[in-house]
Structure 1
């Protein structure tokens, strides 16, 4: 039996384009996508349109939900919000636990969200680098096993994309995976072995970032 796990990083975020947004934002650690990020999300959706993805899971941060929603629209699927895919809750980046929209508030904005889904893995502020890798790796393995043999898509953040890949192939992911904005990682299960087939593909994007930022 085989299975494919796709892991995508969210598209470009507004505070990368306009850093001043952070100064007056109501939820400063939960920025939306930028205008060019919305285009990237649509390009990701077109890239995945021909794939046999059966389930989409997204971190509950706004930028990942927006990215996942573009794909869900193209594939006519629901979105399951999974806390285990969350941003790295790094106290050096965030002076307090990040405030986010509730699941119901997000579902009002994005009706494809499956409000009956219960997140499998928790993410607790603050957390270390090792913890985010452990948490996101555990989440990726858990979802792959629970929904086997269906192909699944995980929409996450730089650190949780890397950690998710590490959950299947271990430390080899540290050297191989380049989690740039809106990039794709592809892991293929053949019997009991996982193979890393794409390590951060951006061929679907017309514009890519030059430096990887795990933010």
Structure 2
């Protein structure tokens, strides 16, 4: 969280700013090896390709210095490519004391050297036969995840099992893109409101990144072509304190990386 001093607005104190990153996963294997899906047991849930692992590793090497602020929590889509992207990033980030420990909960401060990671169904891929290709989608529409297995992939000490999910199950098959965009907005807003004194990173899919961008940057008509793998958008909002509670203002996209607000790392695997 970025501390900018204390200002008084009416009966509210502007105490700081919350930073939120919305990030797309790395390259998926089925886009590089089309034959992979023909023998896979879960062809609708591809892992990262080697190119994706390399790009994610490269991103992990410099993201902390690039951001200039610590990340306290990750929220991750249950799809394998997102969890694998989170593994590399979470292992490379440690939470640095940024002078606001009095604002943190005791449970968080008990182990504030590691990023906390939680898997959130609300960040999943759009559940329809456009986002999940018809040739690999389960015929009964039944998509499921073993959350314990996914959590076991994450670096030791990072999983936070106490976090209450916004969505406790996946959307029904046949979800529309309008419904998915509303889901992404709700999930990000509710979790940001739940942890207003922490900086958050949401590891998700291209549609979520596009939703975050278009909902905060009205001047960006269509940035889909720019949303490469591991692209991310940085959002920031003011955090106010009134009595003993916190409230957040409106999110704005930080524009300093590009005209659109989208940042990404180039990769030559």
TM-score of the two chains, using structure 1 as the length reference: 0.85
Counterpart for residue 92 of structure 2: 74
- Shift in Å, 1:117: 2.9
Counterpart for residue 208 of structure 2: 160
Indicate whether 1:40 and 2:40 are aligned: no
- Shift in Å, 1:52: 1.2
Structure with the higher helix share, 1 or 2: 1
Counterpart for residue 267 of structure 2: 206
Cα root mean square deviation, aligned: 2.3
Deviations, residues 116-169 of structure 1 (Å, cap 9, x unaligned): 3332125412200101111001111111111102110000001122224455x2
Counterpart for residue 129 of structure 2: 91
Counterpart for residue 143 of structure 1: 191
Q: Do the aligned residues in 2 keep the contact of 1:137 with 1:166 (CA within 8 Å)?
A: no
| Partner Cα distance (2:86, 2:142) in 1 | 20
Within the candidate set 37, 59, 64, 1:22 is matched to 37
SS in 1 for 2:72: strand
Indicate whether 1:183 and 2:231 are aligned: yes
SS in 2 for 1:175: coil
Q: Which moved more, 1:80-89 or 1:115-124?
A: 115-124
SS in 1 for 2:58: helix
| Partner Cα distance (1:69, 1:23) in 2 | 27
Indicate whether 1:8 and 2:23 are aligned: yes
SS in 2 for 1:134: helix
Counterpart for residue 193 of structure 1: 250
Within the candidate set 54, 57, 73, 1:55 is matched to 73
Q: Do the aligned residues in 2 keep the contact of 1:27 with 1:99 (CA within 8 Å)?
A: no
- Bigger radius of gyration, 1 or 2? 2
How many residues were matched structurally?
206
Counterpart for residue 106 of structure 1: 150
Counterpart for residue 212 of structure 1: none
SS in 1 for 2:21: strand
The 3 A distance-change label for structure 1 pair 86 and 171 is farther
